[in-house]
């Protein structure tokens, strides 16, 4: 067996793709450095990104609902991301795996309904 994979194998194609992608990324990076114009102005080096000075302290307090909705978003977002591989492999899974995933979806839906009942998302819809 030689050191290099044959080009016709799956790994050979992957290595060629990764090599070309890395080469293209490096090429574009160095072309940007070579041909871009940089002008340092007072606006570019100022600490304010939005164009005007800050009008209050950035360390102000937030309501606890902000954190609750943030955590709920992370929870449901991660769980939905974990469902995608299952969706594509559902036809190949045994019955026990399907039952487990359907049970997970039921628990996820019940959790979402509980959060709606507790009005955890109400401040997002009507903050005033």
Predicted pLDDT at 87: 83
Predicted pLDDT at 124: 56
Last residue of one domain, picked from the residues 9, 38, 55: 55
Are the beta carbons of 109 and 116 closer than 8 angstroms?
no
Are the beta carbons of 6 and 12 closer than 8 angstroms?
yes
**87 in the same domain as 50:** no
In the numeric block, the tokens 């449901």 are attached to 76
The pTM score is: 0.46
**51 in the same domain as 70:** no
Range of the domain at 82: 64-125
**71 in the same domain as 48:** no
Name the domain count of the chain. 2
The HSE-up count of residue 3 (CA atoms within 13 Å, CB side) is 0
- Predicted confidence pLDDT, tens digits, the chain (128 residues): 455 556 667 777 888 889 999 999 999 999 999 998 877 777 666 666 665 666 666 676 767 777 777 888 888 888 888 888 888 888 888 999 889 989 988 998 898 888 888 887 776 555 44
**77 in the same domain as 37:** no
Predicted pLDDT at 1: 47
Predicted pLDDT at 50: 63
């Amino acid at each position: 067996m030689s050191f290099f994979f044959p080009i016709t194998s799956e790994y050979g194609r992957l290595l060629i793709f990764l090599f070309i992608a890395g080469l293209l990324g490096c090429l574009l990076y160095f072309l940007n450095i070579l041909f871009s114009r940089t002008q340092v102005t007072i606006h570019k080096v100022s600490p304010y990104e939005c164009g005007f000075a800050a009008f209050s302290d950035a360390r102000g307090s937030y309501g606890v609902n902000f954190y609750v909705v943030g955590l709920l978003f992370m929870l449901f977002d991660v769980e939905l991301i974990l469902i995608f591989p299952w969706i594509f492999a559902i036809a190949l899974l045994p019955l026990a795996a399907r039952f487990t995933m359907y049970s997970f979806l039921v628990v996820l839906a019940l959790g979402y309904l509980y959060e709606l009942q507790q009005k955890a998302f109400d401040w997002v819809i009507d903050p005033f």
